[in-house]
Structure 1
Amino acid sequence: MSYLNLKRAVLAGIAGILLSAGTAQALELRSADIHPDDYPTVLAVKKMGELIQERSGGRITVKVFSGGALGSENDSIEQVKLGALTMARVSSAAMHNICEVTRVPSLPFLFTSTEHLHKVLDSDIGDQMLRSCEQAGFVGLAWYDSGARSMYSRDKPIRNVSDAKGMKIRVQQSDLSVAMIEAIGANATPMPLGEVYTSLKTGLIDAAENNYPSYESGHHYEVAKYYSKTEHTMTPEMLLFSKRQWDKLPEADRKIIQDAARESVAYMRKLWAERENNSLQIVLKGGAEVVETDKASFQAVMKPVYDRFVTTDEMRDLVKRIQAVK
């Protein structure tokens, strides 16, 4: 954590202590998100806050720090673990090295559709994966959507695994993402999202992979017009609560918070579906070409990824149970 973000965390922690001391029963829950104020995840947490405030008679409120105001997702995770921050919405990919079970929903081609994803996350399987992070210092409140990630390229469409061979493809800074791209014979290039547009424009990379909203909002469609619907991952988002703070709450407050978090999921999914559709229309009008792909050719080379990252009996059991959900 940078000095600036550490200072922010300490000051925020002091502020929270003073708030509790000065107002007795009043409680402010502080939540971080790297996305802008109008993003579905941010709006969903604000909706959760409205429910909490109403059900607690105004005693419990939620303040959302959006747009990365409290640092990166990794910074937020560290602050939540320390108890200096109450909550954070992060990609489950950011938790892979902290809570290994979170690798499971990031596995390539594990989910066959958005409906399949929702059935899994809304079941005891989803609850089990959320609970797995408690030993690392986090209470998983809910799963949010992040859409399906697909590949988009500058110079030619990617229709099958052969088309991708040798390409330099930007991925998230995640070992699993790197391994997936290497499995298709391409060169994985991890880099922050903010560097993708320039890297595509200058030819530093040939392609990238993400969902429609990121493809659109980052203006990547202007420099990589071929959007190939590989839909290789549907890595969900997580809403995490500090276990240090959770353990200090009375059971009644925990129930209010947990119920509101779960109820915010449907609202988030509605907003996400609208956002995806709007982004798709924007990129199509902007000259992007959506390309159908031979998904089977990509799936056929993913066994080494599963062998490397599905490392425990619990994870293997989760994969089997997820694949059995219809």
Structure 2
Amino acid sequence: MISRRNLLAAAAAGAALPLAAPGVLRAQTRDLRLGLITPPGHPWNTTAQKIGEVLKEKTGGKLTMTVFHAGQLGNEGAMMQQLQTGALDLAFLQAAEVGNRVPNVAAILAPYVVRSTEACAKLVRQPIAMRMLEPLPKETGTIGLAWGITTIRVVMSAKEITGISGLNGMKLRINTTPAFRDFYSLLGAAPTPIPTPQVFDALANGQVDGLEADLDLCWNQRFDKVSKVLMRMNAVFMPMVALASGRAWQSLSSEDRALITAATKEALDIQIDNTVTDEPKLLKNFEGTEIKIIVPPEADAAPIIAEYDKIWTPKAPILPELRKIGATLG
């Protein structure tokens, strides 16, 4: 049985030691397994591979990592279960999956907590972000090592719309997390869950009228080819939590835990900075297509925020504090 005290002690030990911890001669090699749902080429995948390279280099090949891309190990719920049993060592899971189990984590998905990708990058580096992960050992049997981000999410519409009101009545493919479902439902959309590989065809054949996603995914999947409008709502973003299995963590030496923790944080710091830098490039890519890009007025958001918070503040009491901090980040 893994006790909360042991998990918390293991997490603290991993977080406290520096990347340059004294090397030790490992009696045997170990290949860590990391799972994630994004496809090869996505920034999260590139980051995961970089962590593996650092671990291999720092340990002379004694500690390596295999990255399982694109949901090869199942969906995020399945990977969470694998982390809990120790069948999976590490995973990059969206805050939606973690928030389904720890509602305060879901607060970071609330609309208009921040209103730009740059502000997203600042928010996940605030002390409150790591504090939100402190209950994970007790609630999920996992340890939160660090945050990653994507660009703030946009809506791609296959029909002409001119603003937020255009979402009313739209069949909108969304991430199925309740935090997003409630937001888009308040806007009058009909949230429609469809697996990512099927979204392009669903837009093309009219099964859905649009989708919401980050810019990286939208460009990677070339949703502009089946959309007429890209609406930059500047409303929600989907960060990622780098998780370690509590069971696997206990089986690692303190030096290995320190190395993994520091390598993960350093790689995700770079990923966060690159996401901010790359956003203008992605927008320029879209500007070079036939798609129309619109930015609705910020004033349209106020009524939605009030209604949303009536639903979510009782579930996620940290939300008001998160909003106060977000308002200072630009």
TM-score by length of 1: 0.85
Counterpart selection for 1:157 from 140, 161, 167 = 161
CA contact (8 A) 1:176 1:305 kept: no
**Change over 3 Å in CA distance of 1:96–1:298 after alignment to 2:** same
RCO higher in 1 or 2 (8 Å CA, sep ≥ 6)? 2
For residue 140 of structure 1, what is the aligned residue in structure 2?
Answer: 144
Q: CA deviation at 1:288?
A: 1.2
Q: Distance in 1 between matches of 2:91 and 2:157?
A: 32
For residue 67 of structure 2, what is the aligned residue in structure 1?
Answer: 64
**Could you tell me the percent identity over the aligned residues?**
25
TM-superposition CA deviations, 1:177-231 (whole Å, max 9, x none): 1111111122222222223222222222222111222222223211212001102
Alignment of 1:91-106 (within 5 A): 91-106=94-109
- Which ranges in structure 2 are unaligned for 5 or more consecutive residues? 1-25
Q: Distance in 1 between matches of 2:225 and 2:327?
A: 40
Say whether residues 1:123 and 2:126 are aligned partners. yes
TM-superposition CA deviations, 1:91-144 (whole Å, max 9, x none): 111222222222011111101323322222112111112223221111111111
Say whether residues 1:291 and 2:306 are aligned partners. no
Q: CA deviation at 1:261?
A: 0.8
SS of 1:169's partner is strand
For residue 4 of structure 1, what is the aligned residue in structure 2?
Answer: none
**Change over 3 Å in CA distance of 1:75–1:275 after alignment to 2:** farther
Q: Distance in 1 between matches of 2:39 and 2:212?
A: 21
SS of 2:304's partner is coil
TM-score by length of 2: 0.84
TM-superposition CA deviations, 1:142-167 (whole Å, max 9, x none): 111111112121221242x3332222
Alignment of 1:230-245 (within 5 A): 230-245=233-248
Residue 136 of structure 2 aligns to which amino acid in structure 1?
Answer: C
SS of 2:104's partner is helix
Residue 206 of structure 1 aligns to which amino acid in structure 2?
Answer: D
For residue 247 of structure 1, what is the aligned residue in structure 2?
Answer: 250
Counterpart selection for 2:208 from 180, 205, 210 = 205
For residue 306 of structure 2, what is the aligned residue in structure 1?
Answer: 303
Q: Distance in 2 between matches of 1:204 and 1:174?
A: 20
Q: Which moved more, 1:68-77 or 1:253-262?
A: 68-77
SS of 1:235's partner is coil
Between the two proteins, the alignment pairs up a number of residues equal to 303
**Alignment RMSD:** 2.2
- Which ranges in structure 1 are unaligned for 5 or more consecutive residues? 1-22
CA contact (8 A) 1:119 1:325 kept: no
Q: Distance in 1 between matches of 2:48 and 2:306?
A: 37
CA contact (8 A) 2:121 2:273 kept: no
Q: Which moved more, 1:110-119 or 1:304-313?
A: 304-313
CA contact (8 A) 1:151 1:158 kept: no
